[in-house]
Amino acid sequence: MSQCDAIQESIGRWLDGELKATDSEAVRSHIAGCPDCGAARRRLEKIHSTFGGHLRAEASQLEFAPFWREVRRRIDEKRPWREDLFEWVQSQLTAPRLAWSVPAAIVLVLGLISFAKWPVDGQFSNYASVESIDTHGRNVALLREDETKTTIIWLYQDPEGENENVEEATKSGPAF
Amino acid sequence: MELSDWQLVEKCQAGDADAFQELVSRYHQKVFMVILGLLHNREDALEVAQETFFRAYRKIRSFQGGSSFYTWIYRIAVNNAIDAQRKQKRNPLDFHENIDGIFAARNEVANDPFADVHDRELRENMSKAINELTPEHKAVIVLRTIEGMSYKDIGEILGCSEGTVMSRLHYARKKLQDKLRAYL
């Protein structure tokens, strides 16, 4: 990036007074001696003066009395309760509150789920259990579910046992 | 002695409607300018500006003075204007009619016809270029142009960081310069 490119990137912040004193002085002295960067500065100033001039011209034609009359009419007017409610809800939905609302909603849902599963008569109606049995290097896991009288049986190999076999194989050394 | 904004706010909170009228008289033109800059339509801007003050009146009891009154009222104005812009995709030609009205008034006192034509083209194209920016980019340009606000204040109004304001402003200016290069 050339020096002019870097300066032109900073002209906006310089005009806004948002640069540090040392950077500001560097931009000012460069612009004073560089016609291209001077032109870039004038372009930016022209945009703001033209746009601001238009807005100020429009606003200067705005009369206060009719403006206030209409605001006053709205204040005095009775609005339907739905509009009031909607406005109140909108005003309550601020960013910090929304940030809290997500974990709060999760806790609430989990609470409701736990409550629904909690037995009324002291006994779980939909009880499920998992058992694991080791049978000589092979594992058996049972899932029993009372309500539907379902039993699921898993058979799987013990991964530690496999590792032991691998270790034994490596101990004997590589086979060439 | 003229009361400060905060003193007027306190009077409003105590139920003094005249104090609110004084606040409206202080800020109605500035609020209108901000909204007009975002909406580009005089009638829509007027409607949203009046609604802004109405909402401010309704909320003023909850205003704690954590920020200045003008920051607070601008925040309501910008939010209302952005909402209105998203709800109503009005015909952008309305804005050109407003601009033409201003030009007609200025041409009466202008001496240089060439400069007039050039300025007219610049304004017309500027309105199009600004209208093509997103509401967020428009908002930073408008707030910076009207009040010369600091990045900190703009960030407070728009609910974003100073860094975000800086990058949005840089992007918006670059876009405008690219589109208006022939007229600047």
**Residue-wise pLDDT tens digits, A61-105:** 999 999 999 999 999 887 778 877 877 777 677 666 777 777 888
In a domain, B65, yes or no: yes
The boundaries of the domain holding residue B57 are 1-90
pLDDT band at residue B61 using 50, 70 and 90 as cut-offs: confident
Residue among A56, A59, A74 whose CB faces B54 most closely: A74
Give the C-alpha separation, B67 to B6, whole Å: 10
User: What per-residue confidence (pLDDT) applies to B97?
Assistant: 47
Q: What is the ipTM of this complex?
A: 0.82
In order, the DSSP letters of A107-145 are: HHHHHHHHHHHS-SSSS-SS-EEEEEEEETTEEEEEEEE
- Select, from the ranges A33-37, A148-152, B96-100, B179-183, the one with the highest average predicted confidence (pLDDT): A33-37
Whole-prediction pTM? 0.69
B27, B44, B55, B58: best to mutate for the A interface, most A CBs within 10 A: B58
In a domain, B67, yes or no: yes
Q: Does B121 have pLDDT greater than 70?
A: yes
Check CB contact of B180 with chain A, cutoff 8 Å.
yes
Looking at A9-18, A91-100, B152-161, which range is the least confident one? A91-100
User: What per-residue confidence (pLDDT) applies to A54?
Assistant: 86
Q: Does B136 have pLDDT greater than 80?
A: yes
Among residues B154, B29, B184, the alpha carbon closest in space to that of A49 is found at B184
CB contact residues (below 8 A), chain B span 11-50, against chain A: 17, 21, 24-25, 28-30, 32-33, 36-37, 42, 46, 49-50
Between A77 and B155, the higher pLDDT residue: B155
Give the C-alpha separation, A80 to B158, whole Å: 30
In a domain, B177, yes or no: no
User: Quick one: average pLDDT of B6-14?
Assistant: 93
Residue among A17, A59, A71 whose CB faces B54 most closely: A71
What CATH class is the domain A3-60? mainly alpha
- CB contact under 8 Å between A55 and B33, yes or no, is yes
**Mean of the per-residue pLDDT values for chain B?**
84
Between B127 and B171, the higher pLDDT residue: B171
How far does Cα A123 stand from its chain's mean position? Answer: 42
Look at strands A138-145 and A128-135 and give their pairing: antiparallel
pLDDT tens profile A135-144: 666 677 777 7
Q: Does B96 have pLDDT greater than 50?
A: no
Whichever domain contains B30, its CATH number is 1.10.1740.10
| Tokens matching residue B78 | 């910008």
Report how many domains make up chain B.
1
Give the C-alpha separation, B83 to B135, whole Å: 10
In a domain, B117, yes or no: no
First to last CA, chain B: 46
Among residues A32, A34, A13, the alpha carbon closest in space to that of A23 is found at A13
Please report, for residues A49, B81, B118, B173, B179, the alpha-carbon distance to residue B113 in angstroms, rounded to integers and kept in the order given.
20, 36, 9, 28, 24
pLDDT tens profile A44-62: 999 988 888 888 988 999 9
CB contact residues (below 8 A), chain B span 73-102, against chain A: 98-99, 102
User: What per-residue confidence (pLDDT) applies to A115?
Assistant: 76
- CB contact under 8 Å between A51 and B126, yes or no, is yes
- CB contact under 8 Å between A16 and B102, yes or no, is no
Give me the amino acid identity at B159: G
pLDDT band at residue A157 using 50, 70 and 90 as cut-offs: low
Give the C-alpha separation, A74 to B48, whole Å: 12
